[in-house]
Amino acid sequence: MHSALRIDPVTGLLVGVRQVLSPHFDERPAGVTPTLIVVHGISLPEGEFGGPWIDRLFTGNLLPDAHPSFASVAPLRVSAHAVIRRDGAVTQYVAFAARAWHAGKSVYQGREACNDFSIGIELEGADHIPYAEPQYLSLSRLIGALCEAYPSLSQSRVVGHSDIAPGRKTDPGPAFDWPRLKNLLV
């Protein structure tokens, strides 16, 4: 049985998880609370797991010449609130009350600029590589903690990046098992 995750209501940080705080965030617009959870998939390089590259991307320290695919992404100023590694370990990059820069140009139910009102959670993975069971368990625990800490959130408002940026983004991709996640959230 996995222990529950808990969010410190003062700091907006997960208690007892690795913190690598990103400079790529800002404040949400006045009076805006998170109402949406966006699930992403990320791997650097594509299809490879482990290593320091996600930390480096989200902190602005990705070396463009460390891998041929990094030249185009190294200059980006992006982040997510949290990343869940293949083994289920959670790393937090941005406090949940702040606006992480994860969604880009996006729209949910007619409302644009999803970063303003969403929490971004990256899973270490790729569109066509099955995600690992520990990731689903950690994701369900994190969603539970978020819904407890922020009553404006709901397990029914969890979407993929591809849902809010169709045609531009494909993650978490067809390998993500939405029914598996929904069963864990019940």
Tokens representing 150? 């922020």
Bridge partners of residue 139, in order along the sequence: none
β-bridge mates for residue 42, sequence order: 124
CA dist., res. 67 & res. 22, Å (int): 22
Catalytic site includes residue 122:
yes
Query: Pick the catalytic residue: 48, 112, 122, 133?
Result: 122
Report residue 91 as tokens: 């790393």
In 3D space, the residue among 111, 117, 106 whose CA is nearest the CA of residue 160 turns out to be 106
- Rounded to 10°, the helix 178-185/133-149 angle is 50
Closest alpha carbon to 87 in 118, 49, 47: 49
Residue 178 and residue 162 in contact, taking contact as beta carbons nearer than 8 Å: no
Is the C-alpha dihedral spanning 127, 101, 166, 140 positive or negative? positive
CA distance linking residue 30 with residue 73, whole number of Å: 30
Among all residues, which ones are annotated catalytic? 122
